């Protein structure tokens, strides 16, 4: 396949909710891209990363991610005045049971606001950087994948998404790879904003149903605010025809095109079991053929009016 390239293009796959089939679709696009145009891939769902599982990716680099700070009380400096206890609105300060023990910080409750640091008359409290997760540069049969795992209860999801996206962009620019596919997170919050920033195109995956329609509208409104071009496909369109019609009416009301309809297909979960994209595991299956058509639509949109890439 010959496409046109002038700069690195980004396509982010989103849905506004979880469980719509973003990762299965992203894995298929990842496989098809590897056969046509070199790409770098990002799993931006850092709370539940699984694109590496269905593409047999093997980590080559592991990096620590530190995004938050926690208060720590020096027992040698603490005068046990209780100022930190009184000022902490998160109830993250543990009161000592006797005068021989200093005040302590409950890590899981500390929000990192540093109010106690500024209030302590003895300067006995300091903020310490915490590791919130890890991010990885992996290789798969389909190309380089950047993904991450946020530790349980850790914060700064959006910052971690930005970190792996920046690593992917840097890698693609340094190696002259023209395309980045981002498997986006669910919802419309900070990680979605981070995953979408700088994207040239958003491919939205909708599913028939009340929640699917509602959340599709939320993500459309979010991306319109960010001024990112939108294309829409419907997954498992044949399991609820009335819901599919409602999705089409919603898309039409916003002026967006439905570029593909993926049927319910047992080949998709079977491909997951074998850690392969469905387009490779069962290339002639109904779902694979539908994903192929979607790929053929989005590539010219991404690379329109650019110089030729061979």
d(CA 88, CA 102): 16
Residue 3: predicted pLDDT: 46
**Mean pLDDT of all residues in the chain?**
91
One domain, residues 161 and 126: no
Residue 35: predicted pLDDT: 93
Q: Determine which helix (DSSP H) or strand (DSSP E) holds 223, and give its type and residue range.
A: helix 210-226
Task: Return the percentage of the chain with pLDDT > 70, whole number.
Answer: 96
The answer as to whether 286 is a domain residue is yes
One domain, residues 242 and 126: no
Burial code of 271-288, b = ≥16 C-beta within 10 A, e = fewer?
bbeeebbbbbbbbebbbb
Residue 116: predicted pLDDT: 96
Structure tokens at 284: 């002639």
Residue 257: predicted pLDDT: 85
The answer as to whether 191 is a domain residue is yes
Residue 1: predicted pLDDT: 45
Per DSSP (E only), the strands in the chain are 3-4, 9-14, 39-43, 58-73, 93-94, 104-105, 125-140, 143-150, 179-183, 201-206, 230-235, 258-262, 308-309
Q: How many domains does the chain have?
A: 2
One domain, residues 155 and 96: no
Structure tokens at 84: 């930190």
Other CB atoms within 10 Å distance of the CB of residue 123:
10
- The CATH number for 123's domain is 3.30.70.20
- The CATH number for 235's domain is 3.40.50.300
Residue 125: predicted pLDDT: 96
One domain, residues 76 and 158: no
d(CA 112, CA 90): 10
Helix (H, G, I), strand (E, B) or coil at 3: strand
Structure tokens at 178: 């023209």
Q: Determine which helix (DSSP H) or strand (DSSP E) holds 167, and give its type and residue range.
A: helix 157-174
Q: Mean per-residue pLDDT for 63-86?
A: 93
Q: In this predicted model, what pLDDT tens digit does every residue of 132-150 receive, in sequence order?
A: 999 999 999 999 999 999 9
The answer as to whether 159 is a domain residue is yes
The answer as to whether 270 is a domain residue is yes
One domain, residues 41 and 77: no
One domain, residues 126 and 177: no
One domain, residues 112 and 13: no
Structure tokens at 113: 């606001």
Confidence of residue 23 (pLDDT cuts 50, 70, 90): very high
Residue 309: predicted pLDDT: 34
Confidence of residue 6 (pLDDT cuts 50, 70, 90): low
Structure tokens at 141: 């049969």
**Whether residue 305 has pLDDT greater than 60:** no
**Whether residue 52 has pLDDT greater than 50:** yes
Q: Are 110 and 71 in contact (CB under 8 A)?
A: yes
Q: In this predicted model, what pLDDT tens digit does every residue of 93-125 receive, in sequence order?
A: 999 988 778 999 998 899 899 999 999 999 999
Task: Return the percentage of the chain with pLDDT > 90, whole number.
Answer: 81
Alpha-carbon torsion (292, 293, 296, 302), positive or negative: negative
Model pTM? 0.87
For the ranges 45-49, 138-142, 155-159, the lowest mean pLDDT is seen at 155-159
- Residue found under tokens 């506004």: 16
Q: In this predicted model, what pLDDT tens digit does every residue of 231-255 receive, in sequence order?
A: 999 999 999 999 999 999 999 999 9
One domain, residues 166 and 227: yes
Structure tokens at 193: 């904003």
């Amino acid at each position: 396949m010959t496409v046109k390239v002038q700069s690195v293009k980004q396509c982010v796959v989103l849905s506004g909710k979880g469980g719509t089939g973003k990762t299965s679709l992203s894995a298929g696009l990842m496989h098809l891209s590897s056969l046509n145009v070199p790409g770098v891939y990002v799993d931006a769902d850092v709370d539940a990363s699984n694109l590496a599982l269905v593409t047999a990716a093997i980590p080559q680099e592991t990096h620590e991610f530190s995004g938050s700070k926690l208060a720590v009380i020096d027992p040698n400096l603490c005068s046990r005045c209780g100022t930190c206890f009184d000022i902490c609105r998160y109830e993250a300060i543990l009161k000592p049971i006797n005068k021989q023990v200093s005040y302590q910080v409950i890590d899981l409750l500390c929000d990192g606001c540093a109010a106690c640091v500024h209030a302590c008359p003895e300067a006995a409290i300091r903020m310490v950087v915490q590791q919130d997760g890890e991010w990885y540069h992996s290789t798969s049969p389909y190309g380089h994948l950047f993904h991450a795992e946020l530790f349980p209860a850790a914060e700064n999801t959006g910052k971690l998404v930005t970190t792996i996206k920046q690593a992917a962009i840097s890698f693609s620019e340094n190696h002259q790879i023209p395309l980045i596919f981002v498997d986006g997170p669910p919802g419309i919050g900070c990680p979605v904003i981070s995953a979408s920033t700088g994207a040239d195109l958003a491919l939205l995956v909708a599913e028939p149903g009340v929640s699917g329609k509602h959340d599709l509208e939320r993500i459309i409104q979010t991306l319109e605010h960010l001024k990112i071009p939108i294309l829409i496909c419907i997954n498992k369109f044949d399991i609820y025809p009335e819901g599919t019609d409602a999705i089409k009416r919603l898309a039409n009301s916003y002026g967006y095109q439905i570029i593909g309809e993926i049927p319910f297909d047992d080949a998709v979960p079977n491909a997951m079991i074998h850690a392969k994209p469905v387009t490779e595991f069962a290339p002639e299956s109904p779902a694979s053929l539908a994903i192929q058509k979607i790929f053929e639509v989005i590539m010219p949109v991404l690379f329109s009016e650019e110089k030729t890439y061979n």
